[in-house]
């Protein structure tokens, strides 16, 4: 492919201006884990000609006409579905899924190539979950110089001779993980063997043409139903796998930087602070210093929407909640995780609008939220307008054929209970 098609160019020019904030939190209960995440993006008018739409669904409930929420699709991917082969990456491998899975996808039609699906979040039938989040510092692996363009399947490439690994385009990695692995342990063992697989970045031609391609780059939070929890990052072309014992993840900087930054808020306390008791004095206003109202244990907790602050906020609030009000059931945990996600939920207009290569319509906001319970194989989702959780039970889901359904249903999900008093 000697030149970039117009459709690919629009995708690559547009997405860097859109992909912004994402937050991930994990709460563990005796019955299992609840993993919650939010996806924050701007709207963009220029996406309409590239991404598959809501099948004619208009954003009538917003009353704004042109806010162009990204047309996220709730996707059902059956086992043995052909996937991969993304044209923006050099020699990108294709494969057939071993596992069926559900995901939230961006779907596009590219001239001379056909339909492309990019999974941004999902869970497979084995309970393995993936969340992709922006990571601009990422630098992915390079294919070996002796590897030549090929359409060989992933399975064939994984069994090929040393020096001929499968190469998965980084934007395809969530689908590859969900389609081929049951556990974090098996995934990380494969990723750590460069003879089996390499996670590759964009072709030189694409990188040279797109000035801000880093806005597309991601790292991934992966959890399974057996207690495996990792963050996968690529820095300077090298794989880094972190055990996510803190159960939190956001965007840049790298994960280990976020861990060190937690130490800067060690003054926060799960209990009512009493450090000033020994220095209190009487004054004409009474004893000072003294607590004024409640919530003083969270004084100093960052409240902005930067990735660094969201990481700190989610970690400390979750730890405080579990210490002071530990939950013992999935149902109780869902309520807690919902509350935690609400603390990083971004309404439209709060974050300053960013204008780059394309006309960006509106500021960054929370376009969708999900919760995943790996042990139960349940996947919850909601959109910006309808904030009522909807659930998929993967143990009962029909995985016979690939299916797609818009997340946004064109309603607010408000329940009218007036008749209860008739």
Q: Which of 230, 238, 148, 249 is CA-nearest to residue 201? A: 238
Please state the pTM of the whole predicted model.
Answer: 0.87
Residue 1 lies in a domain: no
Summarised one tens digit per residue, pLDDT across range 50-89 is 555 544 444 455 555 445 567 789 999 999 999 998 888 8
Angle 298-295-246 from CA coordinates, rounded to 5°? 35
Q: Which of 268, 265, 290 is nearest to 279 (CA)?
A: 290
Confidence of residue 161 (pLDDT cuts 50, 70, 90): very low
Residue 253 domain-assigned? yes
Tell me if 50 is assigned to some domain. Answer: yes
Structural domain includes residue 198: yes
Is 72 strand, coil or helix?
coil
What are the tokens at 11? 């995708």
* pLDDT tens-digit series, residues 243-266: 999 999 999 999 999 999 999 999
Q: What confidence tier does 154 reach under pLDDT thresholds 50, 70, 90? A: very low
Nearest to 308 by CA among 276, 342, 266, 261: 261
Q: Which two three-digit tokens encode residue 151?
A: 């359409």
pLDDT at 160: 35
Confidence of residue 156 (pLDDT cuts 50, 70, 90): very low
Quickly list DSSP for 306-363: SHHHHHHHHHHHHHHHHHHS---SHHHHHHHHHHHHHTT---TTSSPP--SSS-EEEE
Highest mean pLDDT among 28-37, 133-142, 194-203, 346-355: 28-37
CA-wise closest residue to 101 among 369, 370, 402:
402
SS3 content of the chain, % helix, strand, coil (to 5): 25, 30, 45
Print the domain residue range for 215. 6-415
- Whether 23 maps to a domain, the answer reads yes
Identify whether 421 is part of a domain. Answer: no
Q: Range with the lowest mean pLDDT among 62-66, 216-220, 341-345?
A: 62-66
Q: Is 422 domain-assigned?
A: no
Question: CATH number, domain at 218?
Answer: 3.60.60.10
Instruction: Quote the tokens at residue 215.
Output: 């806005």
Ranges 70-74, 149-153, 335-339, most confident: 335-339
For residue 420, being part of any structural domain is answered with no
The tally of domains found in the chain comes to: 1
């Amino acid at each position: 492919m000697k030149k970039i098609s117009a459709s690919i160019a629009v995708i690559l020019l547009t997405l860097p201006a859109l992909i912004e904030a994402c937050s991930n939190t994990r709460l563990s209960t005796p019955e299992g884990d609840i993993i919650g995440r939010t996806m924050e993006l701007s709207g963009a008018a220029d996406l309409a000609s590239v991404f598959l739409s809501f099948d004619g669904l208009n954003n009538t409930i917003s009353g704004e006409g042109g806010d162009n929420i990204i047309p996220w699709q709730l996707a059902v991917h059956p086992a043995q579905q052909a996937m991969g082969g993304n044209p923006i990456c050099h020699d990108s491998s294709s494969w057939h899924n071993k596992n069926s899975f559900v995901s939230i996808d961006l779907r596009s039609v590219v001239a001379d190539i056909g339909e492309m699906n990019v999974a941004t979040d999902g869970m497979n039938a084995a309970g393995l979950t993936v969340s992709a989040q922006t990571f601009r510092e990422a630098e992915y692996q390079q294919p070996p110089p002796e590897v030549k363009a090929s359409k060989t399947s992933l399975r064939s490439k994984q069994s090929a001779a040393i020096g001929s690994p499968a190469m998965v385009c980084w934007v395809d990695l969530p689908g590859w993980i969900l389609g081929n692995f049951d556990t974090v342990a098996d995934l990380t063992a494969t990723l750590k063997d460069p003879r089996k697989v390499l996670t590759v970045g964009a072709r030189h031609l694409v990188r040279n043409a797109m000035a801000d391609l880093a806005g597309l780059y991601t790292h991934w939070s992966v959890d399974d139903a057996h207690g495996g929890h990792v963050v996968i990052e690529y820095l300077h072309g090298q794989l880094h796998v972190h055990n996510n014992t803190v159960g939190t993840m956001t965007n840049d900087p790298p994960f280990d930087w976020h861990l060190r930054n937690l130490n800067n808020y060690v003054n926060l306390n799960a209990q009512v602070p009493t450090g000033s008791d020994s220095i209190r004095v009487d004054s004409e206003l009474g004893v000072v210093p003294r607590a004024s109202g409640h919530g003083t244990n969270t004084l100093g907790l960052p409240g902005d929407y930067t990735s660094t602050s969201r990481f700190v906020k989610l970690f400390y609030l979750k730890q405080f909640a579990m210490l002071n009000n530990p939950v013992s059931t999935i149902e109780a945990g869902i309520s807690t995780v919902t509350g935690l996600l609400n603390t990083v939920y971004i309404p439209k207009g709060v974050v300053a609008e960013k204008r780059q290569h394309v006309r960006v319509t509106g500021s960054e906001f929370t376009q969708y939220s999900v919760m995943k319970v790996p042990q139960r194989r349940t996947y919850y989702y909601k959109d910006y307008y309808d904030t009522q959780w909807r659930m998929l039970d993967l143990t009962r889901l029909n995985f016979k054929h690939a299916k797609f359904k818009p997340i946004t249903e064109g309603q607010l999900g408000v329940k009218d209970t007036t008749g209860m008093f008739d």
